[in-house]
Amino acid sequence: MIALENVRNIGISAHIDSGKTTLTERILFYAGKIHKMEEVKGKSGAGAKMDSMDLEREKGITIQSAATYIEWKNNEINIIDTPGHVDFTVEVERALRVLDGAILVLCGVAGIQSQSLTVTRQMNRYSVPRIAFINKLDRTGANPLRIIGQLHQKLGLNAHALCLPIGLEDKHEGIIDLLQMKALYFEGDNGEDVIIKGIPEDMEEEAHVFRQKLIEAVADVDNHIAELYLDEEEISEEDLVSAIRKATLQLKFVPVYMGSAFKNKGVQPLLDAIGAFLPAPNETDHHALDLENNEQAVIMKCEDNQPFVGLAFKLEDGRYGQLTYLRVYQGVLCKGDYIYNSKDRKKNKVSRLVRMHSNEMHEIDKGYAGDIIALFGIDCASGDTFTDGKVVYSMTSMHVPETVIDISVEPKIHEDADKFSKALNRFSKEDPTFKVRYDEESGQTIISGMGELHLFIYVERIQREYNCPVLVGEPKVAYREAITLPIDVSHTHKKQTGGAGQYAKIFAKMEPLPIEQGNYLFENKVSGGNIPKEYIPSCDKGFQKQLKEGLLIGQPVVGVKMTVYDGNDHPVDSSDLAFKLCAEALIRENYHKANPVILEPVMKLEICVPGEFQGAAVGLINQRRGMIITTGTEDDLVIIESHSPLASMFGFATDLRSVTQGKGEFTMEFAHYTPVPKLTQEQLIRSYQKNRAEL
């Protein structure tokens, strides 16, 4: 068993097509975990080890995060390779929620792209220390020093090079290690032999300049190095490594490595850096909420002798039932143990424990504090916390973004309804951003997600994995509704049908809630028992039920605060049901007085086109109600960032290819909701009313 201080739990994150999966493939090869390297779209058709789904291999993208583990120079490294496409951003959230460190992979040509910004925000949200790896230095136009500048300017990271490239593009031969002040070359058929030589003469001066810059940067964040620097004393490699590690763990410093994973250069020094600069599980703080002590925050102790606490962060439907990925935060989990789900206090027996190597399972008997393991036969949802029953803790939930697109789906063959239902149940349990609802008016099943690709992948998986052909409707924007005026409202619910009747009276304030404070907030300000306290939750339930379906176009109402401050009850006729129905009717009767509006999702759009097509690209954005935020140039490319309504973006890929002769690229992610123009609102309301009349 490896000592805890030698364990690393890391994620590999980046913008799509930056080379994450290729890098992971090299890591597995050099660590002896695989004996042949495959490319993401390999000629053999095998695909990269970590892309185990057929769809991933066909499309050459990572869809699901995949877990593996390796041993490298006395360190045990648990790795999660995450998707780069923004539609699968929740997979990155899940990984970063449970990991202690991360590698941010950047393309040496394209540099900081939209998803680089997103994953950086996610790393910041969970306070994850990171190393940056600038990849693809063999590509035409590679410029790692420009990318380091972008790390400072665009991401606000205190990032500094710990190595320099020896040659770029087709002349990329190796790297200069600025800690050892040696040149590293990667020889052998697959770059497995690291040859250490002296620094080439023509690079000695540059190497000394950059080492001096590195020392100055570290002196800014470490007092010991600052003292040595000011006293003009010799600063050893050991001093620098120790100071960089400390500053990296404190999120004050980002070490930058570089190379070309595809050409097998620079990967082994990155592996060394994982052990040198990223934290062990007991060097990071993870918090839980004590459910038996008013949700008091408790710091997890990453020790085997503590009560067991683990978080289920990812689910899969495996060959032997549900496979649950679990991070063990403290204590030990043994095969045969009983564990309790903190959400429903349900008792579960652990019949089988495994460690995952992509889609392969390696049997184990125990999972220790700091481990990432998987277990079978546990019925739970993603984000559930498990304990051994000695404590009742819950890990705080991860951030789940709002869905922005809907499509209707139904099985082509009526007899496939059971398979169809099983698939939807499984996927909605696995992926918090995949939502399913049944529209009673149209009789349709509606699935919602983060983008067209996101939903297309799930439709494909229903057809392939469940042998269930489906009919798919046109994609529709996931509109929302919101109120804009605060109003005081009241309603009396009175019903007499012989015998006991129904009576409830509620006075409340209905007001807009800033979106950063959530979609809904309930506050009880009733005093003097005018509404008995046992009926207050019924008011809350009634409000929430009615706000799920707005009265403009039937979409959920977001950003609402409901404050109940007075009311009345009847000693015989009042009940939970009466107050729930009264709350629903109160919303229905007063909704239009609060000046409701329809909100549409606005996407952050980043377009990259050759300079000659800038005018055409800007014209496309303007045609689609887009608002340009920034325009910049990098080499001969123009990068345009804009905010564009999702409703205007269908078919954009085809139009962009057309006006740029196939040379334009774009990425798109959700930015925020904003009110639609008045004319559009009127058209949406008319269309909704017409559809209702036809049903």
pLDDT surpasses 50 at 583 = yes
Largest CA distance in the chain: 101
Statement: residue 667 has pLDDT above 80: no
* Backbone dihedral angles phi then psi of residue 71, each to the nearest 5 degrees: -120, 135
Q: How many CB atoms are closer than 10 A to CB 689? A: 12
Rounded CA-CA distance 256/111 in Å is 13
What integer is the mean pLDDT of 259-264?
93
The per-residue pLDDT of the chain, averaged, comes to 86
- Report whether pLDDT(117) > 50: yes
The 8-class DSSP code of residue 129 comes to -
Find the helix or strand (DSSP H, E) in which 305 lies: none
Q: What gap in Å lies between CA 223 and CA 246, rounded to an integer?
A: 11
Residues 94 and 431: their CA atoms lie apart, in Å, by: 10
Q: What pLDDT was estimated at residue 638? A: 87
- Among 41-50, 132-141, 243-252, the range scoring the smallest mean pLDDT is 41-50
- Give mean pLDDT, residues 597-612: 89
Of 508, 516, 515, 494, the residue nearest 546 (C-alpha)? 508
Burial class (CB in 10 A: 0-12, 13-18, 19+), 45: exposed
If we measure between CA atoms, which residue out of 111, 33, 109, 36 comes closest to residue 67? Answer: 33
More confident residue, 400 or 563: 563
How does pLDDT run across 351-374, given as a tens digit for each residue? 888 887 666 778 889 999 998 888
Centroid of chain to Cα 424: 21
Kindly tell me if the per-residue pLDDT of 62 is higher than 70. no
* Region 140-168 average pLDDT: 93
> Using CA atoms, how far apart are residues 54 and 359, in angstroms rounded to an integer?
12
Name the residue with tokens 């377009």. Answer: 607
Rounded-to-integer distance, Cα 182 and Cα 269, Å:
12
| pLDDT score of 163 | 95
Distance, CA of 442 to CA of 686 (rounded, Å)? 17
Question: CB-hemisphere CA count at 13 Å for 24?
Answer: 32
What is the DSSP code string of 649-683? -TTHHHHHHHHTTT--EEEEEEEEEEEPPHHHHHH
386 or 20, higher pLDDT: 386
Average pLDDT over residues 415-441: 85
Confidence band for 692, pLDDT divided at 50, 70 and 90: confident
pLDDT exceeds cutoff 90 at 258: yes
Higher-pLDDT residue of 451, 180:
180
C-alpha distances in Å from residue 253, one per residue of 223, 329, 370: 14, 26, 24
Look at residue 60 and tell me whether its pLDDT is greater than 50. Answer: no
**How large is the average pLDDT for residues 376-384?**
80
Q: Strands, DSSP E only, in 570-636?
A: 597-610, 627-634
Comparing 153 with 119, which gets the higher pLDDT? 153
- Secondary structure letter of residue 408 according to DSSP: E
The pLDDT value recorded for residue 320 is 66
pLDDT band at 653 (very low <50, low <70, confident <90, very high): confident
Mean pLDDT of the region 618-631: 91
Whether residue 566 has pLDDT greater than 50: yes
Q: What is the mean pLDDT of residues 591-602?
A: 94
Q: Which of 436, 445, 425 is nearest to 381 (CA)?
A: 425
Please tell me the predicted confidence (pLDDT) of residue 398. 53
Helical pair 417-430 and 452-465, crossing angle rounded to 10 deg: 130
Q: Which of 75-89, 403-417, 574-588, 672-686 has the lowest mean pLDDT?
A: 75-89
* Backbone phi, psi, residue 266, to 5°: 90, 5
Determine if residue 559 is left, alpha or beta; phi over 0 gives left, psi from -120 to 50 gives alpha, anything else beta. Answer: left
For range 2-20, the mean pLDDT: 83
- What end-to-end distance do the CA atoms of the chain give, in Å? 65
Query: pLDDT: is 492 or 122 the higher one?
Result: 492
Contact in structure between 24 and 13 (CB atoms under 8 Å): no
Residue 180: strand, helix, or coil? coil
CA distance 158 to 255: 9
Q: Which two tokens stand for residue 511?
A: 């007001």
- How many other C-beta atoms are found inside a 10 Å radius of the C-beta of residue 156? 10
Dihedral sign from CA coordinates of 162, 166, 169, 173 = negative
What does the pLDDT read at residue 333? 93
Of 378, 311, 384, residue with least CA distance to 344:
384
Three-state SS at 540: helix
Mean pLDDT of 173-181: 94
pLDDT at residue number 88: 59
